[in-house]
Amino acid sequence: MLACTQGVRAQHDAQFSQYFMAMGYYNPAYAGNTEELRFFGLHRQQWLGIDRAPKSFFVMADMPFKAGNTNHGVGAVMLTETIGLFNFTHVSGQYAFKKKLFGGELSIGIQAGMANISFQGDSVRLLTIDGFSSSMIDGAIPLTQVDGMVMDLNAGVYYSHPKFYAGLGVTHLAEPELQFDENASYYIGRAFNFTAGYNIKTRNPLYELQPSVFLKTDMISFQADLTGRVIYNKMFNGGVSWRVNESVVFLLGAQFGRFQFGYAYDFPYSPLLKRTSGSHELMIRFSMKLKKTQTGNNRHKSVRIL
């Protein structure tokens, strides 16, 4: 039975507890969905206490623009992540076409870029056990530093309305595979994600409820996040998210002028709790309003006459 075992493949996409803020990573149709130029950064330290646990850093910039009578959005994203002996770097550009529909806006987006993947084979630790020789080393595990680059494509649709939003994204459309050497390769499988949320106004105008859901699958494994947040005076927010069969996430955030900050702490209730105290995630976003004239051109003040 062991001799007939097939290959095992895991999800490639990074995991973010503040998915509702980092939708640009999962869905390119999210680019330019406001009237602002936005800069976004997020850092995640996963499973503290476990050696070589995942560390992720994601940055994004996006903005809307108008061409004639049509609306569009563009964005640039970069992700760097380390997991074990693997290092990943993704750099991509995004484009989204937008259309007013049923009181909201429908956006269709595509993303294209490059993924660089490296494996620190020179850091592999080999066990020395009596009776085993170096000739029995697994040839599929490189023992030197190897890396390579492949092209990657994502696509998605996103609908936003003053009361709700929903989006469907597909990552790694072409399912690229990188060949490190004759025996070792890395495969990036196609994955699907769905997100939806609703803005609930309360009798007290200072409070607003924002439930949301995020589903992700590669058709082999499945992940679901169910989230409830409370917004106070459009400045402070807090909430709880449940990652099914994995963890409970506590969320805090604040907005001061053009800056927005967020923090998430994942408390695992799976067997991982025996080895880790949880995961931490920090987020910051800066937004700058783009003022438009009647002709649709952006208008900016000169620093010489401020």
- The verdict on residue 120 lying in a domain is yes
Distance (Å, whole) CA 200 – CA 61: 28
Residue 60's domain spans which residues? 26-196+255-305
Token digits of residue 53: 């646990």
Q: How many CB atoms lie within 10 A of CB 9?
A: 13
- The verdict on residue 162 lying in a domain is yes
Residues in contact with 162: Cβ distance below 8 Å, sequence separation at least 6, in sequence order: 103, 104, 199
Of 218, 176, 175, nearest in space to 193 by CA: 218
Token digits of residue 32: 């330019």
Contact 263, 237 (CB under 8 A): no
Domain count for the chain, please give it.
Answer: 1
* Tens of pLDDT, residues 146-171: 899 999 999 999 999 999 999 999 99
Contact 276, 258 (CB under 8 A): no
Q: Looking at this protein, which amino acid is placed at residue 246?
A: E
Per-residue 3-state assignment (H helix, E strand, C coil) for 244-295: CCCEEEEEEEEEECCEEEEEEEEEECCHHHHCCCCEEEEEEEEEEECCECCC
- The verdict on residue 21 lying in a domain is no
- The verdict on residue 20 lying in a domain is no
- The verdict on residue 265 lying in a domain is yes
- The verdict on residue 175 lying in a domain is yes
- The verdict on residue 96 lying in a domain is yes
Q: Which residues in the chain come in under a pLDDT of 50?
A: 1, 5, 8, 133, 135, 293-296, 305-306
Please give the helix or strand (H or E) that residue 88 lies within, else none.
Answer: strand 86-101
Q: What is the pTM of this model?
A: 0.85
- The verdict on residue 146 lying in a domain is yes
